[in-house]
């Protein structure tokens, strides 16, 4: 997960049903506690067959809720107090039984009673056998919950506990956290109905089949922007160079390798987008000739001819309509503000994010960044913060200047 301050002190309820994937909820709780959240755990009766309350209590630093009428613990209305306490909830794993009860308003035990009383954004991460997942009644229940505002992390395909392959495995942790980030987001619906096109990561320009020119971009800033746009309800198209990051889910992922790939992918998707954020570190030069086979070494040095690539952002700047917003990044080592202001104008941008790579904590691969946001009307220097929090500030800045 991207480190962020969004979970800090947030009250998050984790509900665990009876399913072999129940053990995976330990990792979710650990991540949330590490991110500073206050976590309460409720465990269904069948869930307690798979994982012990003691494990969950230790991880969440709080007694675990299991019974409707516990002796000498909690109050008589603790099911309602727990539902009222939660600012966001995640039911992971969610069984067909729990989904069915939630969709039909059945409250016949502690677990389903709390779910029926929840009034906060709620994520369900179903996990079950393929045939159960494909059951029309389960589909109907999931669709009903979705139509009524629930966030659903669809199960993934893979090896099931039954010994065969199929769809039904609990969504991976990053997937659950992407949805929980949306559930906890203070401006959750601020981009509903909008499409955000984001470029991220490095390019690779090949000299021969085994060698290339590339750069140090990790893609973290661009991926954080994709998470952020998703959390705000946008349709997201992420054009990414080669990175080691998990691709975000339920967005359109487009793979690009070279500057030419970025140019054609961005040009293809741009007409339908409302916002284009160019966070990729796209090469300005590429080898003029690419050898078909590996270049053998000779006695002397090697001189290589490079040619300019397309400046994708500039190309898009010339095409954009008045309604489309364009955000560029600038890495400047000399006269940073002056150069960023020039770039803002020259590339017809609505906003530019200025990075100074020499400042500690703003390095290419770091989890943090230290940037200045500039538009024609405003300039704000942000303090050093996590890239996901920088992404939130970028959208806040864009949406605020839209209103003013």
What are the phi and psi torsion angles at 207 (to 5°)?
-95, -35
Beta carbon nearer to ligand CTP, 153 or 279: 279
Residue 266: CB minimum distance to ligand CTP, A: 8
Site for ligand CTP contains 126 (CB under 6 A)? no
Of 226, 145, 149, residue with least CA distance to 191: 226
215 among known catalytic residues? yes
Site for ligand CTP contains 223 (CB under 6 A)? no
Q: Give the C-alpha separation, 110 to 167, whole Å.
A: 29
Site for ligand CTP contains 331 (CB under 6 A)? yes
Site for ligand CTP contains 338 (CB under 6 A)? no
Q: Give the C-alpha separation, 314 to 88, whole Å.
A: 41
Of the residues 4, 309, 369, 375, which one makes contact with ligand CTP according to CB under 6 A: 309
Residue 276: CB minimum distance to ligand CTP, A: 10
Of the residues 330, 385, 394, 398, which one makes contact with ligand CTP according to CB under 6 A: 330
Site for ligand CTP contains 204 (CB under 6 A)? no
Residue 282: CB minimum distance to ligand CTP, A: 4
Residue 83: CB minimum distance to ligand CTP, A: 45
Of 216, 214, 236, 213, residue with least CA distance to 225: 236
Q: For 194, what's the count of Cα atoms within 13 Å in the CB-facing half-sphere?
A: 24
Q: Which helix (H) or strand (E) holds 403?
A: helix 387-403
Looking at residues 174 to 203 of the shown chain, list those that interact with ligand CTP (rule: CB under 6 A).
none
Exposure string for 264-286, b = 16+ CB within 10 A, e = fewer: ebbeebbeebbbbbbbbbbbeeb
Of the residues 92, 170, 280, 326, which one makes contact with ligand CTP according to CB under 6 A: 280
Of 223, 333, 319, residue with least CA distance to 277: 223
Residues that bind ligand CTP (CB under 6 A): 259, 278, 280, 282, 284, 309, 311-313, 328-331, 343
Active-site residue list:
215
């Amino acid at each position: 997960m991207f480190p962020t301050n969004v979970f800090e002190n947030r009250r998050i309820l984790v509900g665990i049903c009876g399913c072999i994937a129940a053990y995976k909820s330990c990792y979710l709780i650990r991540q949330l506690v590490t991110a500073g959240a206050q976590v309460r755990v409720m465990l269904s009766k069948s869930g307690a067959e798979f994982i012990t309350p003691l494990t969950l209590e230790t991880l969440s630093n709080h007694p675990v809720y299991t019974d409707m009428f516990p002796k000498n613990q909690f109050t008589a209305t603790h099911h309602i107090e727990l539902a009222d306490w939660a600012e966001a909830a995640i039911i992971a794993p969610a069984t067909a039984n729990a989904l069915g009860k939630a969709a039909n308003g059945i409250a016949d035990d502690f677990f389903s009673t709390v779910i029926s009383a929840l009034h906060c954004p709620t994520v369900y991460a179903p996990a079950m056998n393929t045939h159960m997942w494909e059951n029309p009644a389960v589909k109907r229940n999931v669709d009903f919950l979705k139509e009524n505002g629930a966030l659903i992390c669809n199960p993934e395909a893979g090896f099931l506990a039954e010994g065969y392959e199929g769809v039904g495995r609990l969504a991976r942790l990053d997937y659950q956290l992407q949805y929980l980030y949306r559930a906890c987001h203070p401006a959750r619906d601020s981009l509903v109905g909008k499409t955000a096109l984001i470029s991220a990561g490095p390019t690779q320009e090949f000299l021969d089949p085994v060698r290339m020119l590339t750069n140090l971009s990790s893609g973290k800033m661009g991926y954080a922007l994709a998470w952020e746009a998703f959390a705000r309800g946008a349709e997201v198209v992420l054009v990414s160079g080669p990175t080691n990051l998990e691709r975000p889910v339920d967005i359109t992922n487009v793979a690009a390798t070279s500057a030419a790939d970025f140019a054609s992918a961005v040009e293809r998707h741009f007409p339908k987008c409302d916002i284009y954020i160019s966070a990729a570190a796209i090469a300005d030069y590429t080898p003029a000739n690419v050898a078909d086979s590996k270049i053998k070494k000779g006695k002397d040095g090697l001189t290589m001819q490079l040619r300019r690539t397309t400046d994708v952002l500039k190309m898009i700047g010339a095409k954009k309509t008045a309604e489309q917003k364009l955000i560029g990044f600038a890495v400047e080592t000399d006269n940073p503000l002056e150069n960023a202001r020039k770039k803002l104008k020259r590339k017809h941008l609505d906003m530019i994010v200025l990075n100074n790579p020499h400042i500690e904590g703003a390095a290419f691969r770091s989890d943090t960044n230290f940037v200045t946001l500039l538009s024609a009307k405003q300039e704000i220097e942000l303090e050093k913060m996590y890239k996901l929090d920088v992404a939130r500030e970028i959208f806040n800045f864009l949406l605020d200047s839209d209103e003013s």
